[in-house]
Structure 1
Amino acid sequence: MRAYSLNDVHATRKRRDSWWTVFVVDPVACRLTLLVANHTAMTPNGLTRLSLVLGMGSAVCFALGQLVAGAALFYVSFMVDCMDGKIARLKATGTAFGLWLDYVGDRIRVVCCAVGLAFGQYMATRDVSYIMLGAGVAVLDLFRYVNAPQMKRVREVVKENRPEPRAKVEPMVPRQPRQPGEPRTARPIGLRRRFGRFLVRHRVRTHLISGIEFHAAVFVVAPLIGVAALLPVSIVAGVLLLLNEVFLIYRMWLFTRAVPTVPHPENVQRVPV
């Protein structure tokens, strides 16, 4: 069996990922992936199933009112879920069924944890707000993961039907030579550009509120803070996620305006789902 190094594991990380994964999960997940790769025969699908079992344990803890235990199990479940993809890329053992299993397992874990959290708090307080919280979390999560592939599909359709742009020939403007003794002028770097470079350097995606951060806020951060934080933290995270989705839909709408006509249905059917 080949002995993998930590650099090998780091090479399997996604080129862009959520800030929660990059800063909070990957530092631990990469080292555990190294141990699993070098000392076990665990497969990516096996890790996915383990992640789902841990997620079910988190849902049970939430249902019993054990918020800290539920948050800890949810964190570990997500960390194991991050490891399966790294093992698949590291050992080239990924399968198409594994992609489906990983996707469906994530949805089951989130919905079950939302139900468990709502049930546990409702039984303890008889407050209907927690039932609405669980339903809202499940709906937002399902909308996010149904909307994302559909937006990708629309973009692919637009690219297929967009006319080829004509190349523009820009006139050559001679550059003025710098005079002797003239100081070099450096273009000031704005705060926005510095922040963008920071994100690129650390592999962080530009949209900072995604489904992963939403899950972390609802199932890890809020339960660790306490019962009083469940509703406000979840509501704020949900609003931010919804605003991010609206912004992405707006950008998609601007992107589709490049094609003035509706593509023929036959062209749409050729686009893979």
Structure 2
Amino acid sequence: MRIPLEGDVAAKIEAKLAKFSRGWAKLELDPLRRATSFKVLVLCEMLGGRTKAAEAVELADNTLDNYRHGKKDPTFAKLELMAEKAGIAARYLGGEWSFEDDAIRISLAAPVTSSGFVAPPGLMDNPSQPYVHGYDEIRPSTTAAATAIENYWARLGLDPDTVTTLLAEGDSMLPTIADQSPVFVDTGDRDLADGGIYALRIDNRLIIRRVQRLVGGGLQLLADNNAAYPPQELGETASAELEVIGRVRSTAIAC
């Protein structure tokens, strides 16, 4: 999809991108947050600038500025409202946005449901359900969307307060988890179960591995891409000292 922009709007977006991209690089934003900040920046200019955009969606000026700088993620409802005011359907928020030739190009990286949610390729423990990636707060604005989210959490048996979103890095868990895919981690489930996939901190590194308990104590940490990553064995003492962040319960294609 290509959205042509008026000359002055395109020029303002180009100038803002030159300014804000330096800040994004300095903050070392992860790809998801940077993509969200880019969308907020574009929508702001399409709505006439930060002040007018803040008024249009009833946000404080500094709050919207934090969204543009990538210091905080907007709620889905606010981002959806900004898109609506700018004349962009909410279903395109899950796509990949770029700015080129005085236009915004949007390509959807994954199937989108009628509720506007990106559909993941599959869950670790349950059948696929609609899912919206890592905003600080999720408040779907429609009854259908709210029901989809409630059903999703219910099927996983999760407490939303214990769920965190991490970004997978590397190819060690292919084909189960792709590089740069967001994953939902249940921080309330840290009891290592055979065959479960967990986010772990080991040697000051955050990794995602499948866990296998060994007879007599100890663990094996298994990468699903086992051809490239051999099993890592931990003795009983090292296993006891392993920091478990939580159990990975779902994954999705990065938006």
TM-score, with length taken from structure 2: 0.28
TM-score, with length taken from structure 1: 0.27
Higher CA-based Rg: 1
Q: Which has the higher contact order (CA 8 A, sep 6+)?
A: 1
